[in-house]
A and B are shown apart, each in its own frame.
Chain A
């Protein structure tokens, strides 16, 4: 039985293309495809699945897992479409009412989500004491007033990462009033410390559950059409995977999975654990750092659709430099972009007989690439040579900004426009161009591991190691719940941040556990 289930299907939705790959047990590429990304995303995903499984080497009955990295959730928030109406409850009076729910949000997003919010009494201190008792009566009144008017519920309580009791009590009331199967997002399961960004993420998560269910259903149908009976996993923003049922509960975690997949894919294709990764697309190049096999995370809080959340995303430096970047000669010298001919490159670039000089033409002229056959005039030659010098300078500057340490680092170049990058870059020890670089993102999704994260505030007075041990155990449980193999879960990150101005030693501990896919 198990021996027949030896293939995995990875899909990654990008801005321009939706890529799919099928990998075998040894992670070798059996088939790959690049399809245009469709406006509704789902059609492009279907086309990519159909194309890749039509390869003669792919026997669909042998596919054990399907991994999807998708932009559905991001697009739903950006376009304010297909979002659930949410009942937003904050358990935080009187300690946390100085800013009300939805304050500072874009108006159109608030109306898309309904704008129903209430603050009731309750919440905890950092040390687990109740600030004031939870107001069950007011909570019930709020949910009763919204009966039949909302699709989902989002609950956030003060210091719920420390004690979730008030959120859980509110959830019980929501189920009692709105039905046992009401969609619930509880902030202690979603974000870390910082009430307002955690509440924002919880509201967005709740609003996205409808989209997540649609995607899950569409994907399941599409896989059924090809007689693929596999377990489905979604890529998340840290380069790891979560099980389908988990992704349906926590769709917000899928936002930002694209760069994470490309960095992880680059790691896998080269076998490196520490390197710089350049993902060169049609319009821009994303530089990321691979550290201990995972993307380095950015320090800043992340805005999603104009809403501040406390999610961590891969630290990416994007520069306007891609295969389709338009080259112009001006009085002050040659300028690059920032506009790009995008996927019209095969029609518009000089090398393909078009009339627009692009960076791809510059790379062809410098013999970095052999594409097309058009001749360029001596005037154009000079411009293209100059353009490549400018581009190389931009790459060198980006490398200098991203890398750490004085030594040179290897750089892995992936993506459709990777011919732009020269073989010698200052600060780079070696430029690696792995096979299948063009579908690195989909490969990144297909080879990813499963993770669990735990974040809490603990008193260190009773013993620091005990506190860390307990946080590690919780992170492990979360990874296993998300589908990781219980026997091979490892702790990959322990972050300890002491809280200032308290006489008792208290710290916020954040732990990440990662493990390979559990066996079926």
Chain B
């Protein structure tokens, strides 16, 4: 399957929904992808089975502050710097790229990277959504170590990291990014195709595309989105309070939405660490990580990102199931409510709301 310029609008909408408020804004990401497709032609989307077992798979994504990458949109050459470093360390060619994170703008930059390098893009990613920290990836859940992490900037500064584990990958990559000026391109968990089997979330690019296409074709976008991702609508209402502050390098805070229409009189608070983590009503949890919680425009079903959510916006809060790997004990330990400081047990969203996915 080929990804072309015409697919980008739908893909961007899908990535925004899977971004759960974070993952970087999709507007710039979509432009970068379109420009690369216009300059270099379409991208070949492949499955792991299409690749040699011993081939090197390079997951790529942006790391840093979305507000910085909205100014420093990149040279486009960063992926070549990453690839050169990986190939010189491993003495083996990279056979395919993959998105580290399908959610938000990070789901779109790999399209540009694949178009520029001419490499195929694996239909999959390492999260199935967006998460704030580098070690919150499916490979970590599967017990893999981040053997090789490379961070590069537009000036051709390249830093090769050999971290002992996921949390060290996060710490090291984050501090390099800071020195680079707050945004960088990163290849993390570079691995062999055979190792990737069962350790990545397959099908996420086509899933994002499907979400976008369904919503764009629908006469009732929110209803069709709910159906497309098996989501529960927690509330429809107006944003009545937005509180954001930085702590430990992340935007933390909360958004309070007051229901209208059938939801009049209800208040739901969504807690944020770049991404939407937990939805609460009267102190009770309605949904939590690792399940996905997304604020979408109540009319268009466009996802509303954490950095742009504003007082007065009319939104629907939807919640839907994460990839199965996150529901394993290891998955819940790495990215469940307690990993973010919430002392509550994880209960799957469909179980909380008594629906069958």
User: Cβ of B338 < 8 Å from any Cβ of A?
Assistant: no
Contact A503 B174 (CB under 8 A): yes
Q: Which of B35, B38, B73, B155 has the most CB of A within 10 A?
A: B73
Q: Determine the interface band of chain A, counting residues with CB < 8 A from chain B.
A: 35 or more
Shortest CB distance A211–B (Å): 27
Contact A126 B182 (CB under 8 A): yes
User: Cβ of A196 < 8 Å from any Cβ of B?
Assistant: yes
Given A96-B73, A98-B75, A194-B71, are A289 and B312 neighbors across the interface (CB < 8 Å)? yes
Contact B73 A98 (CB under 8 A): yes
The CA of A127 and the CA of B68, in the complex, are separated in Å by: 10
Shortest CB distance B108–A (Å): 11
Chain B residues bordering chain A, tally (CB within 8 A): 55
What is the chain B residue whose CB lies nearest that of A297?
B310
User: Cβ of A112 < 8 Å from any Cβ of B?
Assistant: no
What is the chain B residue whose CB lies nearest that of A162?
B71
The CA of A168 and the CA of B178, in the complex, are separated in Å by: 27
User: Cβ of B313 < 8 Å from any Cβ of A?
Assistant: yes
Contact A95 B154 (CB under 8 A): yes
B313-337 vs A, Cβ < 8 Å mask (1 yes, 0 no) = 1100000000000000000000000
The CA of A516 and the CA of B260, in the complex, are separated in Å by: 38
Shortest CB distance B203–A (Å): 27
B64-100 vs A, Cβ < 8 Å mask (1 yes, 0 no) = 1111101111111100000000000000000000000
User: Cβ of B181 < 8 Å from any Cβ of A?
Assistant: yes
User: Cβ of B240 < 8 Å from any Cβ of A?
Assistant: yes
Residues of chain B contacted by A400 (CB below 8 angstroms): 260-261
A309-336 vs B, Cβ < 8 Å mask (1 yes, 0 no) = 0000001000000000000000000000
User: Cβ of B112 < 8 Å from any Cβ of A?
Assistant: yes
B232-247 vs A, Cβ < 8 Å mask (1 yes, 0 no) = 0000001010001110
What is the chain B residue whose CB lies nearest that of A299?
B310
What is the chain B residue whose CB lies nearest that of A498?
B246
Residues of chain A contacted by B314 (CB below 8 angstroms): 401
User: Cβ of A207 < 8 Å from any Cβ of B?
Assistant: no
Contact A96 B71 (CB under 8 A): yes
Residues of chain A contacted by B154 (CB below 8 angstroms): 94-96, 131
Residues of chain B contacted by A505 (CB below 8 angstroms): 246
Q: Please pick, from A97, A301, A501, the residue contacting B63 in the complex, using a CB distance under 8 A.
A: A501
B280-321 vs A, Cβ < 8 Å mask (1 yes, 0 no) = 000000000000000000100000100111111110000000
Shortest CB distance B319–A (Å): 22
Residues of chain A contacted by B240 (CB below 8 angstroms): 404-405
Which of B26-34, B45-53, B118-126 contacts its partner?
A: B26-34
Closest 6 pairs (CB-CB, A-B): A498-B246, A299-B310, A125-B181, A98-B76, A500-B251, A94-B75
Residues of B that sit less than 8 Å from A by CB:
27-28, 31-32, 34-36, 38, 63-68, 70-77, 112, 154-155, 174-175, 177-178, 181-182, 238, 240, 244-246, 249-251, 258, 260-261, 264-265, 274, 298, 304, 307-314
Given contacts A299-B308, A400-B261, A502-B182, could you give 15 more A-B pairs where the C-beta distance is less than 8 Å? A94-B75, A95-B154, A96-B72, A96-B73, A98-B36, A103-B31, A103-B34, A299-B304, A299-B310, A315-B312, A406-B258, A497-B307, A499-B65, A501-B177, A501-B274
Residues of A that sit less than 8 Å from B by CB:
93-100, 103-104, 123, 125-127, 129, 131-132, 158-159, 193-196, 289, 296, 299-301, 308, 315, 400-401, 404-406, 457, 497-508
